[in-house]
Structure 1
C-alpha cells in the first residue's frame, strides 16, 4: 500500500478528499461518494477485507448513497428563497429607472443602479423616468410611469 497505510485509512482519506472536492466543485454528488468511501473505510477497519472485496463494498455503498441522495433531493428539493436569484432582468421588472440615452425608434439605454442597460419601449428623451415592465434577453422593456 502507498505510504505503508492500512487500507481503511486510504478509504477515509479518499472520503475527506471527495468531501473537499464537493465544497470546491459543488454539485451535490461527490458528497455521496465521500459517504460511500467513509462507509468502506469503516467496514475495512472492523473486518479484514481483500482489496477487490473493498472495491465491491465501495461500489455497493456508492450506489446506495447516490440512490438515498436522489430520494432525499426529491423529498426536500433545494429551493432558493429568491426564485429570481439568477435572473437579473426579471428581478428588475417593476423598478423605476432613468433614461440616459434617448429611446428613439424603440431603442435606447437606461440607468439601473450604477449600470446602464439596453432598453426598448416608447420614445423618451434623456432624463425621463420610466418603469421596467418586462425583459427580452438582456434588453429591458420600459413603459411610462
Structure 2
C-alpha cells in the first residue's frame, strides 16, 4: 500500500480535523493570531464533512470561505478587544527604569553623555552634568535614557 492509497482510504473529516489540529499547534509555536482562525475553519469544515456528503472541491471552497470569514472577523474582534500583556514594559528595560537614580560616568556635555544604571552603562541625554553627579531617569528614547537633576 502506497501513500496515495492510504490518503484515499482516510475519511475526509479526520483529515480536516487533523489539519485544524496542526494549524492550532502551529499558532502556539509561531504566535501571530492568524493560524488559529484557520484552524477553526478547518475544524468546522471537518464537522460539516462528517455530517454531510460533501465532495472534495466543495470542501476546499468551504474551508477557504470559512478561513476568510474567520480571519477578518478575528482581526476585527482583536482590533476592538486588544490583548493587553500583564507587564507592558517587560521587554523595555529603559522605559522600565523611569524614576531610578543614575550616576554620570562620562560628562553630559551638549546634552549627551553616559550614565551608570545598576551594573551597566547607558547613553544619556539631559542637562550638562559632571561625572559623579546623581540624576533621575525621567524617560527613554529607545536605548537612550533621558535624565534630569534630582529635585531637593
TM-score range, shorter chain: 0.7 to 0.9
Q: Paired residue for 2:43, among 35, 38, 45?
A: 38
CA-to-partner distance for each residue in 1:49-68, whole Å, 9 max, x for gaps? Answer: 11101011112221232233
Match runs of 1:1-145 below 5 Å = 2=4, 3-4=6-7, 5-145=10-150
The whole-number CA distance in structure 2 between the counterparts of 1:136 and 1:39 is 47
RMSD over aligned Cα atoms = 2.2
Deviation at 1:72, TM superposition (A): 2.3
Where does the alignment leave 5 or more consecutive residues of structure 2 unmatched?
none
Where does the alignment leave 5 or more consecutive residues of structure 1 unmatched?
none
Match of 1:68, SS state, is helix
- Greater CA drift, 104-113 or 19-28: 104-113
**TM-score, L = length of structure 1:** 0.83
Distance change >3 Å, CA 10–CA 138, structure 1 → 2: same
**TM-score, L = length of structure 2:** 0.80
> What is the aligned residue count?
145
